[in-house]
A = this chain, B = another copy of it.
Amino acid sequence: MTRMPPPTVLDRLLEIGELFQHDMATAFDGTGLTPARVRVLWVIRHGGPMTQQALATALGVSARNVTGLVDALEQGGHVARSPHPTDRRATIVSLTGAGEQRMTQMQSEHADLTADLLDAVEPADRAALARGVDAIAERLRALIAADAERRTSSAERSA
């Protein structure tokens, strides 16, 4: 049994990530929405109507996965499928009126939460906090990209 060390900044960041997830997962009860489905809605909200292939790339998941997510969102009335104007293989997914409305509401709730949480930080600490999380996010992105690169080239060597 190992002694629990005092939490570091990183431990706190991990905890915050888990708390956010928990908050997300419990917030959608009865709406037919789930974290994965809401991610789809955010991508369309920000990127506009797009093919399922584009959704798969933007979300970093398989095409098969997108089929299932869009099926559920379509059945729930949040998105609609329409034929691509020129490519008859492709399907365009767009938000319905109800979907747009829901996203507007979620965006406003997100803004409220942002304001509430930032309000808990000492005003004098806010600028440094913003710089700090930016730096950490950037470094983490770089580490993951390097890791993916390493993984890819080692896969190529073995092929």
Residues of A whose CB lies within 8 Å of any CB of B are 1-2, 4, 8-23, 26, 45-49, 103, 107, 110, 113-114, 116-118, 120-122, 124-141, 143-144, 147, 151
Contacts and interface: CB of A to CB of B under 8 A. Distances in A.
A136 B117 contact: yes
A111 to B, nearest CB: 9
Given A9-B114, A17-B20, A128-B128, 17 more contacts: A1-B48, A2-B45, A9-B118, A9-B126, A10-B113, A10-B114, A12-B130, A12-B137, A14-B20, A16-B133, A17-B17, A19-B140, A20-B140, A22-B144, A26-B147, A121-B136, A126-B132
Copies in the complex: 2
A139 to B, nearest CB: 4
Contacts of A124: 128
A139 B125 contact: no
Given A2-B46, A47-B1, A17 B13 contact: yes
A152 to B, nearest CB: 12
Contacts of A113: 10, 143
Nearest to A141: B19
B131 A122 contact: yes
A17 to B, nearest CB: 3
Given A46-B2, A129-B128, A132-B121, A21 B12 contact: no
A23 B20 CA distance: 17
Contacts of A2: 45-46, 103, 107
19 contacts: A2-B45, A2-B103, A4-B46, A8-B118, A9-B133, A10-B110, A10-B117, A12-B130, A13-B13, A13-B16, A16-B133, A16-B136, A17-B18, A19-B137, A22-B144, A113-B143, A122-B128, A125-B129, A125-B132
